[in-house]
Chains A and B, each alone.
Chain A
């Protein structure tokens, strides 16, 4: 399944709205004005797994959760290490020194951030398309970028879903947080979404 330009632009648009809602919720949580920008959205082939972070060996934090309803799939929020440290310092007042120091407490902050981003993202898309999508409990992993992204793509391929990477930049006065959201609907769900957005395949 290859998405055409019109479909990609429709998906970018709903992602923008979805992440806009997510940013507002995150602003409230962090007590800071957070702006969000979605410069780019693309489908992720296996060969592009190492494209998304500066170095495939750099450590990142990934929040990953399945959603179900009218559309089934998975969502992921990925933060590079310095962005994760910014989130921890803002929300908790301290941050782990290394990836190996991430414990349940630090992970729970990321679970909460992931919950807020993905819950608002899904709700906004559900409202726009009138399709029901409900988040299920999230998980967090801290590993090198290649490991996290390849594992998510493995799951996508295994369930025959399409991984869409949404480049996401969040800004506040003091912190810059960059990352990726990956929106991974299964094929029937993606077809349904595109249909509701008025950009279904003619074939």
Chain B
């Protein structure tokens, strides 16, 4: 595994999982109903981020993008972290997203817009199923979030359009 330079800023797009070691930043841009799920091995400075799109894989279809679904993304994220040298027992997690960004209008309570909440519930459930240590989460609401995960320090910041950037937690 190569060490990234401090300037590395890696976008983790929908359905992707990326792992960086040493330094750099992982970015989950514009999370709406999607969830950014971060994992960190602080002693080895190995950071991973999954950009989850849906709560669970379709039962009747082969999973070609494990990062897309909450139930397949977590085991794949752990596998990639271990492949990069992380120790599973020392992994800490944080996640954010799962909003409903269509906040105005008479249709805003329509349950078709509930995929954000379902995503958040699914991520919580799968983390619990795998007995993962969750340090912080920031889900729901009506605002999109951009998640920035600093590899060297484990600091996770969340930027919301109307609020600006705030620290979520430090996974160390």
Contacts and interface: CB of A to CB of B under 8 A. Distances in A.
Contact of A57 (B15, B30, B108, B113): B30
A147 B101 contact: yes
Interface size class of A (residues with CB under 8 A): 35 or more
A127 B23 CA distance: 59
A157 B54 contact: yes
Contacts of A110: 104
Contacts, number: 123
Contacts of B32: 143, 147-148, 150-151, 154
B134 interface: no
B14 A150 contact: yes
Nearest to B15: A46
Contacts of B106: 111, 137-139
B84 interface: no
B112 interface: yes
A62 B106 CA distance: 14
A170 B105 CA distance: 24
Given A139-B102, A154-B34, A155-B115, A144 B162 contact: no
B14 A147 contact: no
Contacts of B119: 154
B104 A140 contact: yes
Interface in B53-97: 53-54, 58, 68
Contacts of B14: 46-47, 49, 150, 153
A148 B32 CA distance: 7
Interface in B21-71: 29-34, 53-54, 58, 68
B102 A62 contact: yes
B116 to A, nearest CB: 7
B29 A146 contact: yes
A154 B102 contact: no
Contacts of A107: 104-105
B148 interface: no
A108 B104 CA distance: 8
B102 A151 contact: yes
B107 A65 contact: yes
A38 B48 CA distance: 41
B105 to A, nearest CB: 4
A139 B31 contact: no
A154 B113 CA distance: 10
Given A107-B105, A147-B144, A155 B113 contact: yes
Contacts of A59: 161
B158 to A, nearest CB: 13
Nearest to B163: A100
Contacts of A160: 58
Contacts of A140: 102-105
A141 B101 contact: yes
Nearest to B142: A141
A136 interface: yes
Nearest to B118: A158
29 contacts: A46-B53, A46-B68, A47-B14, A49-B13, A57-B30, A100-B161, A102-B104, A104-B104, A107-B104, A108-B105, A110-B104, A111-B106, A136-B110, A137-B106, A137-B107, A138-B106, A139-B107, A140-B102, A141-B102, A144-B146, A147-B32, A150-B14, A150-B31, A151-B32, A154-B115, A154-B116, A155-B33, A158-B54, A158-B115
Interface of A: 46-47, 49-50, 56-57, 59, 62-66, 74, 99-100, 102, 104, 107-108, 110-111, 136-148, 150-151, 153-155, 157-160
